[in-house]
Amino acid sequence: MVGDIIGKINYLTTTIDGCSPWMVVSSIPTSLRSNLVQSPVDVIIHDLRGKEKSVNLDTNALEVVKYDGYIQEEFKEGSETQKIYYEEIINLLKERLGASRVIIYHYTFRSRSSLLTDEECNTTHRNPVFYPHVDTDKPGAQRLVEKLLSKEEAERALKNRIQIINIWRPLGQHPITEKPLAICDYQSIDVDKDVHPLTIRGSDYHPTARIMSRNHQDNHI
């Protein structure tokens, strides 16, 4: 057991052009992909191992669930492996959430041991993101539902509860030791001060998101 450590988190401080934060999903040079200015801040990273039951989706917006399937390698779009994995995840979410319907609309493999070049990155293979963010916001979630469903289905779904859930897991039997995922309990965030609209240009799924700054009085957990 490693326990809690101090890690550096790259928080938004300002923007290069003074405009609202934006970024481009593209293989253009890194310097042209966003107007973000970030600064690393030392933050305590808590080890959840042995404390998995202390967090849940409804209270903390994150949860640790054991994966009992056997898919441990990358798959290609339309492959039998992808079909099996999707069925596993759909069944897991239905059982855990009591959901009447689960739609998996996208997947991404993240490279950690060696970062991908701009040319190697595509819609399903990307490098880790090195700053705290929220993948979508309420308007973006509504647009996503309207994109994935028919008009009638979307209207019906939006009258009920919908959730967008990211499932992250390592491929293989060994834990990730390089660039591991960090997740923040939303209850520890000052939404008014530390969460800012982020426009994502070129995204098919999440054209609007949120990016985080850090008020030093806050204790992001």
Q: In the chain, where are the structural domains located?
A: 5-67+128-212
- Please give the DSSP secondary-structure letter assigned to residue 34: B
Q: Which of 77, 175, 171, 182 has its CA nearest to residue 128?
A: 182
Query: Position of tokens 């923007």?
Result: 15
118-159: pLDDT as tens digits: 778 888 888 888 999 999 888 889 999 999 999 999 999 999
| Confidence category of residue 216, pLDDT binned at 50, 70, 90 | low
| CA distance linking residue 38 with residue 122, whole number of Å | 24
Of 12-21, 102-111, 200-209, the least confident: 200-209
pTM comes to: 0.85
Residue 51 has pLDDT above 60, yes or no: yes
pLDDT confidence tier of residue 217, bands split at 50, 70 and 90: low
